Amino acid sequence: MPGKLTIPEKVAYPLEELAWECTKNAVAVSQYLSSHNLPQPSHSPDGPSRTLPQGTPASIRQARESLMDAALKLFQLAAGPSEFIPNLAPGFQYVACLTWLLRYDIFHLVPDSSPTATVSYADLAAAASVPEARLKSIIRMVMTCALFREPSPNRVGHSATSALLARDADVHSWASYLSTRSAPTALAMTAAHDRFGPNSVAKNETAYNVAFATELPFFDHLALDPKNTAEFAGYMRNVTTSEGVNIKHLVEGYPWADLSSSQQEGQPLIVDVGGSTGNAAIALAKSFPSLRFIVQDLPDNANAGRRAAAASSLPEQILSRLTFQGHDFTEPQPVLGADVYLLRMILHDWPDHVAVTILKNLVPAMLEADTKSKLIIMDTVLPAPNRGVPSTVERIVRVRDLTMMQVFNSRERDLDQWRALLAEADGRLRLRRVMEPFGSAMSLLEVELDLNWVKGETIESKEGQEEVVVGAEEEEDSLDSGEDSNWDISG
Ligand SMILES: C[S@@+](CC[C@H](N)C(=O)[O-])C[C@H]1O[C@@H](n2cnc3c(N)ncnc32)[C@H](O)[C@@H]1O
């Protein structure tokens, strides 16, 4: 809804074109906010922490995505190649400063009693027991990325972003995790490849192992210190409540109700393999009263899930359809002939040879089904470059890919890599449909066994072989943004 904006006859040059994309989409977002009496984005400490609230129509969310994409490209184009290197330095300095600010608890020491509350550098330095000059250098650096403000000379106040870090413990621990774990791990990537060889897929020969001087795999190392485990749990809470990996995409992104209609008798059975403490199964059970679930995980998690469910206020009509089972997914699947085997956020943690084992272990169980068993994989499908996915979105998906490499020697996969993985596990595993729920960082890959497959037959691996279902949300007023992608993993 760009309103009264006049579209220029012709936008002749790349800078103008990008600037026009920015203007057009900024107007769409601003007018939406104003027409719904919502606050405009602002760096003021009482500014909104989300630019667009939950439930904003897809077209407006796309406009915001296109705005960020065009603004980033505009900056890069205007800066030009000669300023590429100097513009890298602020990025790592921001992370260095963030680490320092968290270490000395500066976010909590700046007053947040009112939007206008401020503190002098001298008093803040005294409260944090740090030298005033260093505090000033660091705060003035991060002010260039909208953390803190200096509304009057030598007095510090919160910005919207620093205020969020001060009041939200989970965001604070997310920042802490990022600066103390993710950043040192990323910087150790080359050293790890030098030390272990660039082809290593061992779980304890990663950049994380180099950065933290440990021979233990990531989770075993974290478990040594309960403080680290708690910090990671806070990080995961943020990740799982963020829009991109929200459980609603599992619930709404696949036609689960169809399983019941295709079933002659009884309740369809879903086995959630590596289902943790049952979060996904419980969400599905709430929405689909005719589905039964077995949640499998390592014994400790399965026991924790069983205990938590029993102690919860979940009604009997959900509890009666939920079973927890200890099972190591690198061993053969003990539940034969289930209607669905679900692997959500599992395979991306593992290098190909283990992912192949996990898949192979499911095939004999799938073969036992009366009607066709389905395997549903919910994981990221990496986009191909330059296919209309905004760079602001693509770079975050690629961060996930690199994180998997640096922490687990694993990776995210593109569609061809998913097809190849399935083919390597068993030539009969066929990718039937790919669902891409709007706003989800992960797709749902529906896989079945092709029982007519003949060994030795070549599997074509061309794109478009299977049905791709894009976006579960209704498109309304088109913005003519030139973007037809609905990628949005912003949270
Ligand atoms: C990233 S979590 C995903 C959890 C869940 N599927 C979800 O979507 O929230 C990976 C899960 O795999 C489980 N896991 C790791 N190794 C396993 C193994 N060998 N067998 C079974 N589960 C395992 C972990 O305990 C964890 O719950």
Look up residue 147 and give its DSSP letter. S
Best residue for ligand 1 mutational test, from 241, 295, 329 (most atoms within 8 Å of Cβ): 329
Q: What is the mean pLDDT of residues 184-198?
A: 97
Nearest ligand 1 atom to the CA of 250 is: 8
Q: pLDDT band for position 1 (50/70/90)?
A: very low
Cβ–Cβ contacts within 10 Å for residue 435, how many? 23
Distance CA 415, CA 234 (A): 31
**158 a catalytic residue:** no
What local confidence, expressed as pLDDT, does residue 458 receive? 47
Q: How far is CA 148 from CA 93, 98, 231, 474, in A?
A: 16, 12, 24, 39
Residue nearest to atom 3 of ligand 1 (CA): 345
Q: What is the mean pLDDT of residues 110-129?
A: 94
What local confidence, expressed as pLDDT, does residue 262 receive? 63
Q: How far is CA 412 from CA 79, 83, 208, 347, 402, in A?
A: 31, 31, 17, 9, 8
Token pair recorded at residue 290: 């005719």
Over the stretch 407-417, which tens digit does the pLDDT of each residue have? 999 989 999 99
What local confidence, expressed as pLDDT, does residue 2 receive? 47
CA of 277 to the centre of ligand 1 (A): 9
Residue nearest to atom 11 of ligand 1 (CA): 274
What local confidence, expressed as pLDDT, does residue 461 receive? 41
* Interface TM-score (ipTM) > 0.90: yes
What local confidence, expressed as pLDDT, does residue 405 receive? 95
Strands of the sheet with 149-152, listed across from one edge: 119-120, 155-157, 149-152
Q: pLDDT band for position 326 (50/70/90)?
A: very high
The structure tokens 């996990």 sit at 358
Q: Which residue has the higher pLDDT, 322 or 7?
A: 322
Distance CA 489, CA 491 (A): 6
Helix (H) or strand (E) segment spanning residue 382 = strand 381-382
Best residue for ligand 1 mutational test, from 222, 284, 293, 298 (most atoms within 8 Å of Cβ): 298
Distance CA 339, CA 346 (A): 19
Q: Return the closest-CA partner of residue 448 out of 425, 423, 469, 429.
A: 429
Asked if 120 and 111 touch (Cβ cutoff 8 Å), the reply is no
Q: pLDDT band for position 4 (50/70/90)?
A: low
Nearest ligand 1 atom to the CA of 346 is: 10
Average pLDDT, the chain: 88
* Residue 355 confidence (pLDDT) above 60: yes
* Residue 68 confidence (pLDDT) above 80: yes
What local confidence, expressed as pLDDT, does residue 490 receive? 27
Token pair recorded at residue 419: 């097809």
Over the stretch 419-467, which tens digit does the pLDDT of each residue have? 999 999 999 999 999 998 877 889 999 999 987 765 555 444 444 456 6
Give the DSSP letter string of 168-201.
-HHHHHHHHHIIIIIHHHHHTHHHHHHHH-TT--
Distance CA 373, CA 368 (A): 8
Pocket of ligand 1 (CB under 6 A): 274-276, 279-280, 297-298, 301, 328-330, 344-346, 349
Distance CA 360, CA 330 (A): 9
Kindly compute the dihedral angle of the four CA atoms of residues 301, 303, 305, 306, in this order, to the nearest 10 degrees.
160
Over the stretch 21-58, which tens digit does the pLDDT of each residue have? 999 999 999 999 999 999 999 999 999 999 999 889 98
Least confident of 117-121, 197-201, 397-401: 397-401
What local confidence, expressed as pLDDT, does residue 476 receive? 37
Distance CA 153, CA 142 (A): 16
Q: What angle do CA 416, 410, 367 make, to 5 degrees?
A: 60
Helix (H) or strand (E) segment spanning residue 240 = helix 226-241
Q: What is the mean pLDDT of residues 462-475?
A: 52
Confidence (pTM): 0.78
CA of 61 to the centre of ligand 1 (A): 32
Q: List beta partners, residue 296.
A: 273, 325
CA of 284 to the centre of ligand 1 (A): 18
What local confidence, expressed as pLDDT, does residue 234 receive? 67
Instruction: Give the whole-number percent of the chain exceeding pLDDT 90.
Output: 68
Active-site pick, 158, 249, 327, 348: 348
Token pair recorded at residue 311: 């102690």
Q: pLDDT band for position 395 (50/70/90)?
A: confident
Q: Sign (positive/negative) of CA torsion 62, 257, 418, 187?
A: positive
Distance CA 410, CA 433 (A): 24
Q: How far is CA 82 from CA 71, 85, 93, 144, 461, in A?
A: 19, 7, 20, 21, 41
CA of 346 to the centre of ligand 1 (A): 6
Residue nearest to atom 8 of ligand 1 (CA): 344
